């Protein structure tokens, strides 16, 4: 008899509108390995978070996010905010962006990812949390957060209904480049050391890649108990922003010290002179904020990954 221990959370419109059909395929694949699951379909933004939190309270021991980074982030937050321990998370990457799944070594093929969930053991990975006065409970992230220029591009790309993937980011980047943001004076406390800088871009990462192609934190690891902090270390005009984005593509932030400062830390406090847009794993944290605290939570999530 199959044990009903898996909750599969999926957007029916994922995978170019084939999410519902993919859910049936995934359920049959898991059944073939002797595992059964309940499928829960999301209806609106934020619903996956509520489903995951409810699933945790109902006693599901494995909760799977089938979708992109947004679905992964919502399921993570549902698990973390549930207060229930002993839950493992699985990922089946069928969304537009699958940056954290890529970082965790999870296969992009849904059948192979389902096999990992059925047969592999969970391993602890780090999570991060971003807190602000407006969001005292915080928002958890697995991949990373961005402040300033990066979320401006990200939020603009979200608004393009008929553009996906890198094309949406490229069009959004060209738009923001025509209206480049002014640098803010930012004071940061990074593991007890104070840094003051005029900057348009700060990234705090657990994973390496964002936006499907931007290597924001080229030496980040998801199980080292640290967050990688990268920021442009002086105000940039248009050509400077172009050079910065080119560095993101190549993952050269650790060597191009004339553009970037790159640090690793457990706790970061940020206070800005101007409003900053902020994302967590590509999801909107705030459109305009000034005070933030971020910290790493070592081994906070039990993630089902391929065997090393």
Domain ranges of the chain: 3-120, 129-298
What is the structure's pLDDT at 2?
44
The reply to whether CATH 3.40.109.10 applies to domain 129-298 is no
- Nearest CA-CA partner of 98 in 66, 146, 64, 51: 66
Residue 165 has pLDDT above 70, yes or no: no
Could you give the percent of the chain with pLDDT greater than 90? 67
Q: How confident is the model at residue 5 (pLDDT cuts 50, 70, 90)?
A: confident
Distance (Å, whole) CA 199 – CA 201: 6
Mean pLDDT (whole number) for 282-298: 95
What is the structure's pLDDT at 139?
98
- CATH homologous superfamily of 3-120: Probable inorganic polyphosphate/atp-NAD kinase; domain 1 (3.40.50.10330)
Do 7 and 69 touch, CB atoms closer than 8 A?
no
Do 259 and 273 touch, CB atoms closer than 8 A?
no
What is the structure's pLDDT at 158?
73
Phi first, then psi: give them for residue 18, nearest 5 degrees: -105, 20
Sign of the C-alpha dihedral computed for residues 291, 295, 301 and 304 taken in this order: positive
Q: Which long-range contacts (CB under 8 A, 24 or more apart) does 48-51 make?
A: 48/9, 48/11, 48/74, 48/75, 48/78, 49/74, 49/75, 49/77, 49/78, 49/81, 50/78, 51/7, 51/9, 51/75, 51/78
107-146 pLDDT, tens per residue? 999 999 999 999 999 999 999 999 999 999 999 999 999 9
Mean pLDDT (whole number) for 273-278: 95
For the ranges 73-87, 158-172, 266-280, the lowest mean pLDDT is seen at 158-172
Distance (Å, whole) CA 155 – CA 145: 13
34-48 pLDDT, tens per residue? 998 999 999 999 999
- Nearest CA-CA partner of 282 in 164, 108, 136, 158: 158
What is the structure's pLDDT at 175?
80
């Amino acid at each position: 008899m199959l044990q009903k221990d898996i909750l599969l959370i999926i957007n029916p419109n994922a995978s170019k509108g084939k999410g519902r059909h993919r859910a049936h395929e995934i359920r049959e694949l898991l059944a073939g390995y002797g595992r059964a699951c309940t499928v829960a379909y999301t209806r609106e933004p934020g619903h996956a978070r509520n489903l995951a939190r409810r699933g945790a309270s109902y006693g599901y021991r494995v909760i799977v996010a089938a979708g992109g980074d947004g679905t992964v982030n919502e399921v993570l937050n549902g698990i973390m905010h549930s207060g229930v321990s002993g839950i493992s998370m699985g990922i089946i990457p069928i969304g537009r962006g699958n940056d954290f799944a890529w970082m965790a070594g999870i296969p992009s093929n849904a059948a192979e990812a389902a096999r990992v969930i059925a047969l592999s053991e969970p391993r602890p990975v780090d999570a991060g949390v971003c807190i602000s006065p407006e969001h005292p409970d915080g928002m958890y992230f697995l991949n990373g957060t961005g402040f300033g220029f990066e979320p401006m591009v990200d939020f603009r790309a979200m608004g393009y209904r008929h553009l996906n993937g890198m094309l949406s980011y490229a069009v959004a980047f060209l738009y923001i480049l025509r209206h480049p943001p002014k640098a803010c004076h930012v004071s940061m406390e990074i593991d007890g050391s104070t840094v003051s800088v005029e900057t348009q871009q700060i990234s705090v990462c657990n994973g390496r890649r964002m936006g499907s192609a931007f290597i924001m934190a080229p030496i980040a690891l998801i199980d080292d108990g640290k967050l990688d902090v990268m920021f442009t270390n002086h105000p940039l005009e248009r050509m400077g922003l172009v050079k910065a984005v080119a560095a993101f593509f190549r993952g050269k932030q650790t060597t191009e010290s004339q553009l970037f400062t790159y640090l690793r830390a457990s706790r970061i406090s940020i206070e800005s002179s101007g409003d900053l847009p902020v994302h967590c794993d590509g999801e909107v944290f705030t459109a305009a904020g000034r005070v933030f605290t971020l910290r790493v939570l070592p081994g906070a999530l039990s993630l089902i990954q391929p065997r090393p």
